[in-house]
Amino acid sequence: MAKRIDVSGLNAYYGSFRAIEDISMTVEPRTVTAFIGPSGCGKSTFLRTLNRMHEVTPGGRVEGKVMLDDEDLYGAGVDPVSVRREVGMVFQRPNPFPTMSIYDNVAAGLKLVGGKKKSEMDDVVEKSLKGANLWNEVKDRLGKPGSGLSGGQQQRLCIARAIAVEPNVLLMDEPCSALDPISTLAIEDLIGELKERFTIVIVTHNMQQAARVSDRTAFFNLAAVGQPGKLIEIDDTERIFSNPSVQATEDYISGRFG
């Protein structure tokens, strides 16, 4: 099958510190891939190399190759801003623009691109909020600030904002860690729906969540603090949770460390 994402020989640094070492993996279109592994093993760092966010950190540097379909994301002349439009991101803490209305939060990315009429904008906002399963809860208060929503609603607002620009890939870094169990299940259901249109990569510390939402699971680990994180194995989620190839994976998922 065609690969949506194809990473080879990827290293990422903060100054002279190498945070992740020699990562290679592929991700197929319209699948959910979960990244699991102990704190500090480089899951967030790696995720941010997939949409050129890593280099925004001072000292942040990447070596290696990330292909998105036929495009080399680190190729000469590639505009990081357009990469971030193609590869959207949802963060651990819901981060709606606090002074902006619900409507403007969803429309923010589109306004940057420009060229949409008000009626077109209205359609995209409605479609995105429906896509994020938030429309019914907010349709009567689109002009109110996004910060006035509950945590779970804010996270769905951030998902609506991310999908409004029609990315190919959606990266989610522990999107449920600040949410209650009901909102968490709502987001998990939503991930199941979104994968029909998007390719999703999600970092999670919740093993049940990884098992519930993902098709593929990648386990990362580090030999010791100060050592770079490595990809230990990636396989079908069912296999990772029933019969992983590497002992360290088994130990991690059964809670023996991490």
Ligand X SMILES: Nc1ncnc2c1ncn2[C@@H]1O[C@H](COP(=O)(O)OP(=O)(O)OP(=O)(O)O)[C@@H](O)[C@H]1O
Residues that bind ligand X (CB under 6 A): 14, 17, 19, 39-45, 57, 229
- Which residue's entry shows tokens 């996004």? 146
H or E stretch at 216? strand 216-222
Which residue, 105 or 155, has its beta carbon nearer to ligand X? Answer: 155
Residue 14 binding: pick among ligand X, Mg ion, none (C-beta 5-8 Å cut-off by kind): ligand X
What b-and-e string marks burial along 174-187, b requiring 16 or more CB atoms within 10 Å of the CB? bbbebbeeebbebb
Length of the chain: 258
Residue 41 binding: pick among Mg ion, ligand X, none (C-beta 5-8 Å cut-off by kind): ligand X
Which residue, 7 or 125, has its beta carbon nearer to Mg ion? Answer: 7
Residues from 18 through 57 that contact Mg ion (CB under 5 A):
44
Which residue, 53 or 73, has its beta carbon nearer to ligand X? Answer: 53
Is residue 36 within 8 A of residue 201, CB to CB? The reply is: no
Minimum distance from residue 27 beta carbon to Mg ion (Å): 18
Which residue, 74 or 220, has its beta carbon nearer to ligand X? Answer: 220
Strand 71-72, strand 60-68: pairing: antiparallel
Residue 42 binding: pick among Mg ion, ligand X, none (C-beta 5-8 Å cut-off by kind): ligand X
Q: Count interface residues toward Mg ion (CB under 5 A).
A: 1
Which residue, 43 or 156, has its beta carbon nearer to ligand X? Answer: 43
* First-to-last C-alpha distance (Å) of the chain: 34
Sequence-ordered list of residues with C-beta below 8 angstroms from that of 219, at least 6 positions apart, any chain = 36, 37, 231, 232, 233, 234, 240, 244, 246, 248, 249, 252, 253
Minimum distance from residue 110 beta carbon to ligand X (Å): 30
Residue 148 binding: pick among ligand X, Mg ion, none (C-beta 5-8 Å cut-off by kind): none
Minimum distance from residue 173 beta carbon to ligand X (Å): 7
Instruction: Tell me the C-alpha distance between 39 and 163, whole Å.
Output: 28
Which residue type, as a one-letter code, is found at position 44? S
Minimum distance from residue 252 beta carbon to ligand X (Å): 12
Query: Which is nearest to 159 in space by CA: 120, 133, 179?
Result: 133
Q: Which residues form the interface with Mg ion (CB under 5 A)?
A: 44
